[in-house]
Amino acid sequence: MFYKVFGSVGAVLAGIVAKRLVTVIWEKSLGKAAPSDVRNPDIGTREAVGWAIASGVSIAVAQLLVQRGAANVLRKRHGDAKLPKALRKVLDEAN
């Protein structure tokens, strides 16, 4: 239960923080506001694709790190038995 709650809530929060961070980096490095909607035809294709890649990758990596952190904390405190079944199966197949 801890893994599901912490992993899910943490992943959402990590995604929000990552998007804010990549927005700040985008604006400081390019000197203009990050695209608010990449579907806007006034935004160039390169800029739209660049923003989609930058924001998507940063959000995915942040969520991955939080979920892995949650799994590691749970594993250290309670052992593999408390991990979700799907994750235990992956661990069993790796060993």
Residue 3 is predicted with a pLDDT of 67
Domain layout of the chain by residue ranges: 2-94
Instruction: Write the Ramachandran bin of 32: left for phi over 0, alpha for psi from -120 to 50, otherwise beta.
Output: beta
pTM of the model: 0.77
Per-residue pLDDT tens for 19-56?
Answer: 999 999 999 999 999 998 989 999 999 999 999 999 99
1 pLDDT tier (thresholds 50, 70, 90): low
Structure tokens at 76: 């250290």
Q: Where are the beta strands (DSSP E) in 8-85?
A: none
